């Protein structure tokens, strides 16, 4: 059986609802532990069938790491690393406001998510303030992300690298995705690299997600381009698309964010376990 990869990007889901966030699960000081404890026992039945990684905001990494040590099976990740790092005999800590890969590793991380569309948008916004836009900005964003991958690799962090095209890029998706992939392949030297296909044009309320045929076509393109690297669906693995994604041989898993999209919106462990079950049980039937 081919190993599957189930990732969770918890974004800023720790902010309480009364502050405009979506956290109705637990107080922020215990939020990470509640999530790990809430899923750990339910994942034991899938041991050996899938790898489970949770990307937490930095403030929660220590609490999550303590819970992971108690429970096992779950890998801990952070949401990005800086493109420069601490070095023996060199820069030992001049990284105010930045998260070097050494710090992520010291906090207990074994994985990092790089290139998420939200990160790409943030880097592009800074470039825009300097008058850089269009293809020049896209190329610069790719180069910055390449440096982040290299920094993560040097610390043996497993990298989930997100790629995807925006609405105005759909007609030239092969060109856009190729440029994003090339920069990763040019720097990736150590540690696992997994590609998440994130159709940016389909993310958000009222957007139409890609159908099976398009995902299958693009996942096949990515695998051919990368000579067989694992590809997961980064547009949101959910209860309503888990069976469809599981039916695509080129897809090796998915990236989960919210589990509930109406009512008390948020991430809920029991709903996460439902999504995992739907996907892995469907994948087993292939």
In angstroms, rounded to a whole number, what is the distance separating the alpha carbons of residues 112 and 136? 26
Torsion angle, alpha carbons of 186, 52, 276, 118, to 10: -50
Alpha helices for the chain (secondary structure H) = 31-43, 61-71, 101-106, 117-129, 134-154, 173-187, 212-226, 242-246, 269-284
Reply yes or no on whether 129 is catalytic. Answer: no
Q: Which of 63, 119, 148, 198 is catalytic?
A: 198
Q: Which of 60, 63, 116, 148 is catalytic?
A: 116
Reply yes or no on whether 60 is catalytic. Answer: no
Residue from 250, 238, 120 nearest 180 by CA: 120
In angstroms, rounded to a whole number, what is the distance separating the alpha carbons of residues 223 and 231? 7
In angstroms, rounded to a whole number, what is the distance separating the alpha carbons of residues 19 and 13? 11
Coil/strand/helix, residue 11:
coil
In angstroms, rounded to a whole number, what is the distance separating the alpha carbons of residues 146 and 115? 9
Residue from 237, 197, 254 nearest 220 by CA: 197
Burial 109-146 (b: 16+ CB within 10 A, else e): bbbbbbbbbbbbeebbeebeeeeeeeeebbebbbebbb
In angstroms, rounded to a whole number, what is the distance separating the alpha carbons of residues 19 and 279? 33
CA angle 226, 198, 5 (to 5 degrees): 65
What lies within 8 Å, CB to CB, of 90 at 6+ separation is none
Active site positions, annotated: 116, 198
């Amino acid at each position: 059986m081919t190993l599957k990869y189930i990732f969770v990007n918890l974004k800023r889901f720790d902010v309480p609802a009364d502050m405009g966030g979506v956290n109705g699960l637990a107080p922020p000081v215990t939020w990470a532990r509640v999530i790990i404890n809430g899923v750990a026992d339910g994942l034991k039945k899938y041991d050996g069938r899938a790898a489970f990684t949770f990307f937490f905001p930095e403030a929660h990494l220590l609490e999550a790491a303590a819970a992971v040590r108690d429970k096992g099976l779950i890998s801990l990740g952070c949401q990005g690393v800086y493109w420069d790092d601490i070095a023996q005999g060199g820069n030992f800590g001049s990284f105010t406001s930045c998260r070097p890969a050494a710090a992520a590793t010291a906090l207990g991380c074994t994985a990092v998510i790089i290139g998420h569309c939200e990160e790409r948008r943030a880097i592009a916004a800074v470039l825009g303030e300097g008058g850089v836009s269009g293809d020049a900005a896209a190329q610069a964003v790719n180069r910055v992300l390449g440096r982040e991958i290299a920094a993560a690799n040097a610390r043996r962090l497993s990298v989930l690298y997100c790629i995807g095209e925006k609405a105005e890029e759909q007609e030239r998706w092969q060109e856009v995705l190729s440029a994003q992939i090339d920069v990763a392949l040019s720097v990736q030297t150590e540690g696992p690299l997994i590609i998440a296909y994130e159709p940016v044009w389909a993310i958000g309320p009222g957007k139409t997600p890609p159908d099976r045929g398009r995902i299958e076509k693009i996942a096949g393109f990515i695998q051919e381009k990368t000579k067989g690297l694992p590809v997961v669906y980064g547009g949101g693995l959910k209860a309503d698309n888990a069976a469809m994604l599981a039916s695509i041989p080129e897809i090796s898993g998915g990236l989960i964010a919210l589990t509930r999209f109406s009512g008390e919106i948020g991430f809920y462990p029991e709903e996460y376990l439902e999504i995992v079950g739907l996907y892995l049980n469907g994948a087993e039937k292939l």
